[in-house]
Structure formats: structure tokens, C-alpha cells
Structure 1
Amino acid sequence: MSSSTAPSRTAGSSAGVQRVLTKLSQSVSDGNYYEAHQMYHSICQRYLKQHNTAAAIHLLHQGALSMLAAYQLGSAADLAQRLIDIYNDDHVPVDNASRSTLLDIFHAFPLKTEQCDVFVRNVVKWSARNSEFSVVGDPALHHAIASRYFKEGAYYDAEAHFVYGLTDSARAWGHMAAEWANQGYFPDKGYFVARAVLPYLAVGKIHHAALAFQTFVKDAALLTTADPAPTPLAFESADGTANAFDVHHYPSSALLNFTQLLIIVVQRDAPTQFTQLRTKYNPILAFDPYLVELVEKIAEIYFDLGPKKYANPLEDMMKSLFGGATPAAPSLGQPRRSVAPPPPEPMEMD
């Protein structure tokens, strides 16, 4: 084949795919869903036999979007799964193109449907198999998924993805925690940022934990307008060096005080102060086993404290991403509405 004829054949192939897509899209518009569904599969198989994987992917992508536009969730999910199967079989890497194709479909799915949940789990599995992030999946994908959940008020679902996302995810989670806190579900507004900070610390993301906290405090300005100026906290680090940190005291939020101090003791590698902090605030945390388990995990991974064997509080979150059991309350469901215990006295570390 001469080089002068190659472009025309490529153009012809592309035009042929477009004609097929136009015909199938019209079939969906006419309500011939079953026929269209079968044709998408049949033509996809033909492209694969011709080793035209790009055309097969494009066909399934557009087919899933067409079916979603017609609210044919079962057919859309089936076509989307066939696309993921091709990605897995061909070891398609996670890059801007492959990620964008799958996110197009995700954004077209209605949330809170079984089909969408299954699709998200399988997309994350694919990204774990075909990227350097082989344990939890692609951070950019997690961030995009979490951002949509946040935008549509599915906060618990967003949490499960923000924790494995980007640096921008930490900022977004801080914004989400502030928005959530202002909805009146729980009297101690610091509870919602604790749900961000503790998981980040439990997976070793100290900078993300601090960023989420800072964003939350800035957003939830009502928490700081009436508070006194920050006071210095005398602090002795692991090497015996004395340091002082400016720490705000939040009279209305025991959990915000706890979360702030927890970040500091982890940053400074201070096991003695961590033990004091945990003892002081355990009665406050006891209402939520999820937070208690996260603190136990933090005690173990940073300070070699606490039980050596314990249930991993992030395990349920991972199961939800990779197709296992649904996380148990309080990590799913409505936030608790019970009245929080009174805040403890300000903690002294001198």
C-alpha cells in the first residue's frame, strides 16, 4: 500500500464507523432498544475480529451513552461492561483518553442506581490492574468520581473516593465537610472534618489531612468568628526539643479541637502526647466506632501503640470499591443526630 492511499482508507473506515453509529443511534431513538443492543454487540465483535479495537471501543462508548440517554440502564450497563472487558483484555493503560471515555459514561449514569454502582466498582478495578496504583486504583479517576458524588450530595460515596484521590481531593473534601456540617445533622460540626482527617492519616496522607482541615476551617467561618486568638501550645517532640505551635481552641467543637491536635502530634511524631490526646478524647469519640477504629489504626502505624490485631476501618471502604460488602454504619447512611457529649477541657501539653 502506498503512503498516498493510507489516509483515504483510514478516513473511509472512520466514515463507516460513523454511519453505523448514526444508524444504531436512530434505532435507539425509535425505541428499538433490544435490536439496537444486539447490533452493538454484533458489530463490536466484527470490529474485534478485524483487530480494530479502537472502533470497537468507540462503538461501545457511544452505544452506552445512547442507551443512557434513553434511560435503558440495563443495556447501557451491559455495553459499558463489554467496554471494560476490552480494556482489561487488551491491558489498556490508564491515561487521559481511557479515563475520559469511562468518565463520560459515569457522568451519564444516574447516581444511586445499582448499574452505576457496579460500573464504578469495575472501573476502579480496571484502573488498579492497569496503572501504577495497583492497590486502590487511579487517583485522578477517584477524584473525578468523588467530585460528582460531592456535587450531587452523595457525601458518603464521595468519601470512599476522595481518600484515594489527588491533592485537590483533600481541598474538595474540606469544602464538602464544611457544606455537610452546615446541614444540621450533628451538633458538633467538627465531626465532618474528622471523617476526612482520620482516614487520610490512616492511609499515611498527613499533608492531605492537614489540607482538608485547613480548608474546612476556612470554609466554615462560623466556627472561628467568635473564638479567641490562637494560643501557643508548649510541645516536646520525640527528640526532646521544645517547640511551640499556635493552636485555636474551638469552644463549640470538641471534635475540631481533637482533629487539630491529632494532626500536630502525628506531624511531630509525639507518642506521649498522642496517648494523652486519645485518653482525653476517647469518651467523645466513643459514639462512633468508625472514628474509634481509625484512631486505633493511627496509633499503630505512627506510634506502634494499641492492639496489633484490629479490624481495618478502611477495609469496608475498599470492599465497596472492589465489589465486596457494603460498608456498615456509620460510614454509610445518614449522619448520627444524637447530641454529642460536652467538649473536654482544653488539653495541656507541657
Structure 2
Amino acid sequence: MVRFRFSKGLNREPDPKNVKLHIQSGSSSRALNAILPLVASGQPYEAHQKTRTFTSRYSKSGQYDTAIDVLFQSARELLKVSQHCPAGDQDLHHYIGELLYKDGAFDAAEPHFLASGKRDSARSLANMMIEWSAAGGALGNFALRGTLLYLQNGNIVGARTFISQFIAQPVLNFCQLAVLTCQRANGEKNKVMHESWVRLCGTYQSKGGVLATRETLQEIATLYFAIPPPRTQPDNPLGAMISSMLGDSLTHPSLTIGSRILQVLEPWTGPTVRFPLLPEL
């Protein structure tokens, strides 16, 4: 319902320059009264269609708060019956998901990231699942939850993006590649593995996190690849470590950090790698 606010004066007709439209609060009630009974009666498809129709109508008329309310409440009810609401704009779903994620409302953000289907939403969902798992629960269950729900929605790109981001956060890729690289090491004799270890460490240490200042990596470098430790305590441990590993060959184009590690290890990955590094599509 639209209410008109008139400017001061005795005009009987509203002045178009001074008219402000005010949408009454609670205007989502009409849409929800039509959608939610369908969910309760076991008609999720019909609920999807009505949600799409109402959301599009509200968005086109600039009633974004109403559209958000309809999407949120409809998606929440559909989630309860193992359905996910694909209605509405992808960017709007992503935006709502990000807001809820930042507020710590993980369970409410999840259906919006799934409904969005965007790659950015899949990455945000993976990061959120990692944080969510810290509150309790098996990490693998959260990985399955995101992957399978994207596949259930028919979104293979979303599933691949999600699991790639998820795996990268717990540094599982580093673990598997570190084992394979050390397995093929032969001290100073195997230059290929020597260079592969340098690239592997450089790639993951440059991202920060738990691997940023691990002295253990230097010990492994010495044990398997005969790379001596730095002579003095460096101001920049990562830079000194890489310099000591590469010496004067640091600028060699074949040693670009992180660029060819998978090419080097590809002949040995095979079925032994449980969590392959998935490329972006």
C-alpha cells in the first residue's frame, strides 16, 4: 500500500516534486502467505516458482528489503524439507549470504550461497565451513555437506570451486605434495625434486598462515634435499630460505615459484593422491 506525503500548503493534489513513496512494513506478508503453505503441503516446486515471481516483482520495483525477506524466509523453510530455493538474483543471494556469514549466522547463510551458485559464493561457503567446523564436528563432514549440496542442485562448477577452496584452506594439498616430493628426493642428485620442493614451500609460505614461519620445513629441506640452513637468523625467513635453496639461480625462469609444481609431480600422483589440486574452471 502506498501512502503520499504532501508538502505544506493548501494544494488538494499532490505535487509530484514533493511526493515520497513509502512502502508499508510487512509487505512481504502477501508473498509469504502464498509461498509457505505450499512448502508445508509438500509442493516445493510450486513454492520455488512463486518465490521467483514475487522476488522478481519486488526487485524490479525497488523493494529490495521485501525481496530479501521473501527470499530468506522461503529459503529457510525449503531448507527444512531438504529443498533449496533457486529463485531470485544470484548477486542478491550472494550479498545476503555474505551479510549473514559476517554476522556468524552460518546456518542462515548456507542456503543463500547455495542458491546463488556463483563461484565467489562457493569460495565463501568453503571458508565459512572451515570456520563452522572449528565450533565442533568432523572437518570431512563439512566438506561433504557443501560438495554434495552443490551437486544436488546440479551445480558442478560450484561443487568443484567449493572443494578446491576448502582443500586449500586446511593446507591438505601441501601435505600430499610434500610427501610425494620427499618420496622422490635423492639429496643433491635429484635437481628436479630439489627445485620442486623450493617451489612448493615458496607457494604455500607466501600465503601466510600456519606454514609461514615453520622451521620444520628447513629441517626437511636439509634432510631430503641437502639444502643447508641459513647461516644467520634472517629478518625475512622466507626470503633467506629460498635464497639459500636456490643460490644464484633464483632468477632462472624455470624456478618461478608455484608455476610448475604439479607438472613435475604429475607422473607420480596417480591414485595415491586423495585430495588432488583442482584447477579453476
Classify the TM-score, shorter chain: 0.3 to 0.5
**TM-score, with structure 1 as normaliser:** 0.35
TM-score (norm 2): 0.42
